[in-house]
Structure 1
Amino acid sequence: MKKVLIITHTHDNESIETVTQQLKKYNARAIRFNVDLYPLHYGLTSCFEDGQWKVYLDHNGERESLHDIAALWYRRSHNLGSGLSSVLEGEYLSSAHGEIRTTLFGMLESMNCFQIGKFSQYRRLDSKEEQMKIASSLGLKIPETCITNNPDEAKKFVLSHPKGAITKMQSSFAIDRGGVEHVVFTNVINEDNLDAIDSLQYCPMQFQEKLEKQKELRITIVGDAVFSFAVDSQKLDNAKIDWRREGVELLDQWEPYNLPEPIKQKLLKMMDIYQINYGAVDIIVTPENEHYFLEINSAGEFFWLDRLIDGAISNQIAKVLSDEAPRRYIPVF
């Protein structure tokens, strides 16, 4: 039976268990590595002896060999090293966390097996600027964009778009207020609220032209399979700029969408360029039926869409992991 390593955390959603069950259909067994339990509850060992590399994961008195896994799915690494502050003095925490990250991600990068996407490739996708440049070079439409920490440049960009501009962070940006995390969503900015923009000097932001929306698309790509869904985010005032503000309310309102073939092929080409087998793509469809690429999320959620199509996305992930469906990326050693 093939072994598949899944990198996630204890509070991940239903998608992990769904894929785990699907893997069994293809004679594969999942090994779940919850990184928030490493290193307090997991032991991870890599050794080179007698001309061979051996990698082991120890947990609850049991040992799993990882050097013979058939595939790896890096999904999440939330709360890596959680609880370390309870056993280490503060002065050692930063260095210990650095070694934990280097050890785990170094091991993942070095695994000589098929991977849905290598950690380094996912980190490359952190560059929204490169994403847009690649998309544009492939002929996909992208919004007019300005990424800057220069208040004057930002003001000039906003004023040059009288229909409005939006501002958003390039990373998963959140503000901690009294121990509560507040996600920073996409917001509209115009001439009337430029007064506060001088603080931009201390934190760069991304500005884009405000596009009118007919629909918003979430396109989940797994290997060569493309699952396209659309939602009318304009039904709800609070979702018009960023549908995530009303994500729960819109949960059951997504519908399958017939993505034009040229758009589909350009997105698959992007996946080839990045050498990844999973991506969640966000696209805006304007009232003129023009499709504007926004970004690829390397580990974007899919579970609510999966429910609408009887687990077809999870099944496709399992098929790619077990080599029952086309893949991209070949180990180099």
Structure 2
Amino acid sequence: MSDTRPVLVVTSLYDPTADVVISELHDRGVPVVRLDSGDFPASLSVEAEITANGVQGQLVTPSRTADLAAVRALYYRRPSGFAFPHVSEQDARFAATQARYGLGGVVAALPGCLYVNHPHRIGDAEFKPSGLAAAVDAGFLVPPTLITSNADAARAFVKRHGSVVYKPLHNPVYLVDGVSNVVKIAEVAEEDINDSVAGTAHLFQQRVHKTADVRVTVIGDRMFSVRIDSDLLDWRTDYSRLTYTPVEAPSGIRRALRRYIDHFGLVFGAFDFCVGEDGGWWFLECNPSGQWYWLESETGLPMCAALADLLERKS
């Protein structure tokens, strides 16, 4: 007898990575309900009752209805934000808050659902300082790091460590002449730092002189490691200059990955490392909603199938 419990995929309209996962699930006969929080309430509605058996009710999109008590798994990717452009700014702020804690609270409380990942756990893991501290506890090599709004402290850090890079603590949309950009990782010298550092928090980190980068994608119990070779400080700035090679993560790294995943309650994570000149793997960050499908296209590693297995709950 077929399992009719749906998988919820929560993401924006344009998400090619989610598209390939949904296609794989469809090919397996697994029901899928795709929704975007930005569609609420215009084309997405919720009816949820808190009962002795947990949350009961339904989510309704223009083409699908999901029984909240029957959702087998939820794939939380990159939904757009709530928007209420037809009302005043104050009313929109109130409505968006109610939607976040109402619809968002319901989505985060589905009984018996496997979350990949739970939105609250994603939120916890997206804070770089807590991620770096957890990485130290997990046993990773972590470059000396300073988070500061004090220019003197930043200059002293650079003087102490010599080769230092600046990294944004998070990358929101940043428009330059109307075009979306990201703030790039850049090497900084002592003379580059001025009193504008006092304007907000900044992250400075000792630069690791590397021979390569490695992306490790953890999907449930499986780990897919890919060596990325380039001559770039930040390989994400030019994908055309990258070459990819599947590699096996050292056993110590695999154990530390599992400790890190368990610390944040994740089942998926995209981990970035750089390989130092001594061969050590240095932890840089973990993105709990990171991209991964382009690596399957480059290497043939079966990551989409692994993620579909997880969402289908085959094991």
Give the counterpart of 2:196 among 199, 205, 213. Answer: 199
Cα distance in structure 1, aligned partners of 2:34 and 2:237: 31
1:207-233 CA-partner distances (Å, limit 9, x unpaired) = 000111100111100011000011112
Other-structure match for 2:14: 11
Q: Which amino acid aligns with 2:269?
A: G
Task: Give the structure-1-normalised TM-score.
Answer: 0.87
Question: Cα offset for 1:206?
Answer: 0.6
CA contact (8 A) 1:125 1:298 kept: yes
Q: Aligned partners of 1:45 and 1:310: how far apart in 2?
A: 42
Instruction: Tell me, yes or no, if structure 1 residue 308 matches structure 2 residue 298.
Output: yes
Aligned to 1:331: none
SS of residue paired to 1:254: strand
Match of 1:215 among 202, 212, 217: 212
Three-state SS of the structure 2 residue aligned to 1:171 is coil
CA contact (8 A) 1:108 1:118 kept: no
Shift of 1:271: 1.0
Please give the secondary structure, in 2, of the residue aligned with 1:208.
Answer: strand
Q: Find the residue that maps to 1:67 and give its secondary structure.
A: helix
Q: Percent identity among equivalent residues? A: 24
Residue of structure 1 equivalent to 2:148: 148
1: CA distance between counterparts of 2:264 and 2:114? 15
Distance 2:116 2:64 in 1: 26
Cα distance, 1:145 vs. partner? 0.6
- Which one of the candidate residues 233, 241, 256 is aligned to 1:241? 233
2:43 is the counterpart of 1:41: yes
Equivalent positions of 1:105-120 (< 5 A) are: 105-112=104-111, 113-120=113-120
Name the SS for the 1:97 alignment partner.
Answer: helix
Shifted more, 91-100 versus 50-59: the winner is 50-59
Distance in 2, Cα, partners of 1:90 & 1:242: 39
Q: 2: CA distance between counterparts of 1:134 and 1:61?
A: 42
CA RMSD of aligned residues (A): 2.0
Contact map agreement 1:174 1:184 (CA 8 A) in 2:
no
Query: What do residues 234-277 of structure 1 show as CA deviations (whole Å, max 9, x unaligned)?
Result: 1xxxxx22111113x146x2221222121112112211222211
Equivalent residue in structure 2 for 1:319, among 304, 309, 313: 309
Q: Distance in 1 between matches of 2:64 and 2:288?
A: 32
Amino acid at match of 1:110: A
Which letter maps to 2:258?
L
Instruction: Report SS of the residue matched to 2:69.
Output: coil
CA shift, 1:23, in A, is 2.2
Detail structure 1 runs of 4+ shifted over 6 Å in the superposition: 49-52
The equivalent residue for 1:91 is: 90
* Cα gap change, 1:96 to 1:264, in 2 (>3 Å): same
Alignment of 1:293 with 2:283, yes or no, is: yes
Instruction: State the Cα deviation string for residues 276-313 of structure 1 (Å, max 9, x = none).
Output: 11000000101211110011100000110121344611
**CA deviation after TM superposition for structure 1 residue 138, in Å:** 2.6
Q: Deviations over 1:168-190 (max 9, x none)?
A: 11112443334332210111101
Tell me the equivalent position of 1:167.
Answer: 166
TM-score by length of 2: 0.92
Instruction: Give, as a single letter, the amino acid of the residue that structure 1 aligns with 2:210.
Output: K
**2:67 maps to which of 65, 80, 90:** 65
Q: In the aligned structure 2, how far is the partner of 1:204 from the partner of 1:58?
A: 41
* Compared CA separation, residues 28 and 151, structure 1 to 2 (3 A): same
Amino acid at match of 1:31: V
2:82 alignment partner in structure 1: 81
Give me the whole-angstrom Cα distance separating, in 2, the residues matched to 1:243 and 1:8. Answer: 26
Measure the CA separation in 2 of the matches of 1:292 and 1:104: 39
Q: Unmatched 5+ residue regions in structure 1?
A: 235-239, 326-333
Q: Work out whether residues 275 and 282 of structure 2, in 8 Å CA contact, stay in contact via their aligned partners in 1.
A: yes
- 8 Å contact from structure 2 (residues 55, 110) kept in 1: no
The answer for unaligned runs of 5 or more in structure 2 is none
SS at match of 2:161: coil
Match of 1:132 in 2: 132
